[in-house]
Amino acid sequence: MDILYFPLIEQDDFDSFRRIMHDELPSTHKEWLQRHADRVAHYRETHRIVDVKVKASDFTAYLHASSHGTNLKSLWDFAEFIAKRNKN
């Protein structure tokens, strides 16, 4: 079963992520959590889901160290990067 790494953004860090990502995130943390729950429900039958807590300051450093854009794909790539880094 393939693994999907889903970024978890804490409420106190959500506004920082919104400033970084602009219109890529919903306007509220509650809506972000609902979208997360919807994604988990959609993929859980076909993938192993790994939730990864992410921090805006770490994401900013990740973006500056690479050529990633400030978009959802970069956020998902970052979650995978953090999960695999922390595994070692």
Tell me phi and psi for residue 48, to 5 degrees. -90, 125
> pLDDT per residue over 43-72, tens digit each?
999 999 999 999 999 999 999 998 888 999
Specify the pLDDT at position 88.
Answer: 61
**Mean pLDDT score across all residues of the chain:** 94
Domain range list for the chain: 2-87
Q: DSSP letter string over 19-88?
A: HHHGGGS-SSHHHHHHHHHHHHHHHTTTEEEEEEEE-HHHHHHHHHHS---SSHHHHHHHHHHHHHHHH-
